[in-house]
Structure 1
Amino acid sequence: MIKAVVFDVGETLIDETRIWSRWADRLGIPRFALLGVIGGMAATGRPLTDAFELLLPGVDLDKEQVSWAMDEPESLRNNFDADDLYPDVRRALAGLRERGLKVIIAGNQPPQAKSALEKMKLPVDAIYTSAEWDLEKPDPKFFLKVAEVAGVGAGEICYVGDRVDNDVLPASGAGMIPVLIRRGPWGYLHAELPQSAYSIVVDSLDALADLIAPV
């Protein structure tokens, strides 16, 4: 019996299109080129940062972020706000809580992501990031921490994400029930991988409540 549902952030709750489009504009790369190469990284299993190296060899992303913050201190830059939420998010989270489930957000995110999510006043019980835990998926310790903060057994937790490598396999390995959502480059591509058979696959978060907590 599922008692808690834990959500990844990027491309699970947050549509990252605007973030990558702003990165392209900042670096002087056509948006379509950057978004297309990011898709290529997803298809070939390469790290996301390789997309920038491929398009701009030698680019220093850390240095660029510092410079960007100085140039545009009031802009979103590589951050997100409520306008980036997928349209099913608030509705789905609220529906899960109405059925008595604990709802938690915990994903690989930088420090500022926690406050950004908290400002959205989402219907959740808690929000955590990899930065505050100093742990990143797919590290098994991340999922041990998820179980700890959820306060229930691993087998009573459903972990929802868009990637087989970062979400489905480590969540399954921790004894949780993984859900793969088909959206974003990784979500669509990873749903075709044989390893997706370890998970429930959904096209929308709206499907979750009836699947894991039927009335």
Structure 2
Amino acid sequence: MIRTVAFDVGETLVRDDRSWASWADWLSVPRHTVSALVGAVVARGKDNAEALRLIRPGIDVGAEYRAREEAGRGEDLNESDVYADVRPALGTLRARGVRVVIAGNQTVRAGELLHALRLPADLIATSGEWGVVKPSRAFFERLVTEAGGPAEDILYVGDHPQNDVFPARAAGLRTAHLRRGPWGYLWAEDPEVITAADYRINSLMDLVSIATS
């Protein structure tokens, strides 16, 4: 039985296009350049921050985050970033007795912004708050602890095979691969993803029947 549905954040609940555009502006390169490089590193199976390292070799991404915040050009999330199916899906799951958790690879500041959106969730947490980062097993072990386990009663939903589907499955959780965003679309028909994912979905609303049947 699925008692908890846990969600990745970027390109699962919120769009990343404004975020990448802000990085392009900060690094003084065309926005299309950043978009194209993100696509390239995605196709190569690398971390998306590699796109920033290609633009500025040796960049300290953490230091740049801090510099942006100090300059008043830091992280930002608003309602326009939230995918249209998020509030209906999460709200319906909670109304039907399913615990909803949001847990992704984000900074502490991103966690504050997510809380400010008042999404219908029982728990919102980020890797920055927990001090553990996907795809490490420690991240999913912390998730199981926070959700009140056992792991097999938790369904983890995400778009990224390497960060979401594969490590969540290895940690004993059920998994759903979302066909959304660059990673979701690129690997939707990958045989390894098809094998690893318990469910493959095109909309978060698909989870209502999965988790409450």
TM band (smaller chain): over 0.9
Is this contact kept in 2: 1:172–1:178, CA < 8 A? Answer: yes
Residue number among 160, 166, 191 corresponding to 2:163 in the alignment: 166
Q: 1:205 aligns to what SS in structure 2?
A: coil
C-alpha displacement of 1:64 = 3.3
C-alpha displacement of 1:18 = 0.4
Q: 1:10 aligns to what SS in structure 2?
A: coil
- State whether structure 2 residue 137 is matched by structure 1 residue 140: yes
Q: Aligned equivalents of 1:194 and 1:35: distance in 2?
A: 26
Is this contact kept in 2: 1:20–1:78, CA < 8 A? Answer: no
Counterpart code for 1:24:
A
Counterpart code for 1:206:
M
Shift of the 32–177 alpha-carbon distance from structure 1 to 2, 3 Å rule, reads same
Q: Normalising to structure 2: TM-score of the pair? A: 0.93
Is this contact kept in 1: 2:69–2:75, CA < 8 A? Answer: no
What pairs with 1:60-75 in structure 2 (closer than 5 Å)?
A: 60-71=60-71, 73=72, 75=73
C-alpha displacement of 1:175 = 1.5
C-alpha displacement of 1:21 = 0.7
Identity of aligned residues (%): 41
Moved over 4 A (4+): none
Q: Aligned equivalents of 2:100 and 2:27: distance in 1?
A: 37
Q: Aligned equivalents of 1:193 and 1:39: distance in 2?
A: 17
Aligned to 2:3: 3
Counterpart code for 1:25:
D
The aligned length equals 211
Aligned to 2:111: 114
C-alpha displacement of 1:182 = 1.0
Structure 2: gaps of 5 or more residues? none
Shift of the 121–28 alpha-carbon distance from structure 1 to 2, 3 Å rule, reads same
Q: Aligned equivalents of 1:63 and 1:144: distance in 2?
A: 28
C-alpha displacement of 1:60 = 4.0
Is this contact kept in 2: 1:7–1:107, CA < 8 A? Answer: yes
Q: Normalising to structure 1: TM-score of the pair? A: 0.92
Structure 1: gaps of 5 or more residues? none
Q: Aligned equivalents of 1:175 and 1:114: distance in 2?
A: 25
Counterpart code for 2:205:
D
Counterpart code for 1:208:
L
Shift of the 3–66 alpha-carbon distance from structure 1 to 2, 3 Å rule, reads closer
